[in-house]
Amino acid sequence: MADVLIASDAPWVVDAIRACLDEASTVRVVHAGVDVRPAVAARTPDLVVVDLQVGNMGGMAVCMDLRLEESAGRLDDVPVLMLLDRRPDVFMAKRAGADGWLLKPVDPIRMRRAVQALLAGGVYHDDTGTPATSPAAEALAAAGGGDTEVE
C-alpha cells in the first residue's frame, strides 16, 4: 500500500497515477505547488508526483523546496517524479534533484514503470525523444534497456 501525493491541476494526471496503484493505496492531491511542503510535513508520502506546470509554484521550484527542506533536516527524504513538458526540461529536473521524470504526453506503460521504480527505491529517467548517439546506444534502446535503474 503506497501513499502518493500528486501536485497537479490536471485531472488526467490524477487518473493516470491512480491507475498505476493498487486499490489499497492512498492518493492525495494538491492543486498548487505551495501546498506540497505542508502536505509532506503533515504526512510523509512514499512518492510525490509533480507536474511541471502546477499553479503558482512550478514543479522545479517544488522539487527544489523539498530538497532544501530535507537537507536542513526539516523534512524526511521523499522520492519525486516530475512530469516534464519537453526534453530540455530534463536539465532542470536533474538540477532540482528529481528522482525521476517523464515527458508528456505520458502513456500508461511509462507511467506505471516510473511509479513502480520510484516506489521500489530506484530512479526513472525517461529517454523519450533522446536521439541515439551510437550504434551501441541504439542496440541498448532496442533491447529495452536504459530507461530505469534500481539502486
Model confidence, pTM: 0.84
Contact in structure between 64 and 96 (CB atoms under 8 Å): yes
Give the pLDDT score at 151.
45
Contact in structure between 32 and 56 (CB atoms under 8 Å): yes
Per residue in 132-146, pLDDT tens? 555 666 676 677 665
Give the pLDDT score at 63.
97
Give the pLDDT score at 136.
67
Task: Look over the chain and give the mean of its residue pLDDT values, rounded to a whole number.
Answer: 89
Per residue in 80-130, pLDDT tens? 999 999 999 999 999 999 999 999 988 889 999 999 999 999 999 998 876
Q: Is the pLDDT of residue 131 over 70?
A: no
Q: Which residues contact 10 (CB under 8 A, 6 or more apart)?
A: 51
Q: Which residue has the cell 507511467?
A: 111
Which of 81, 73, 75, 69 shows the shortest CA–CA distance to 7? Answer: 81
Q: Is the pLDDT of residue 150 over 60?
A: no
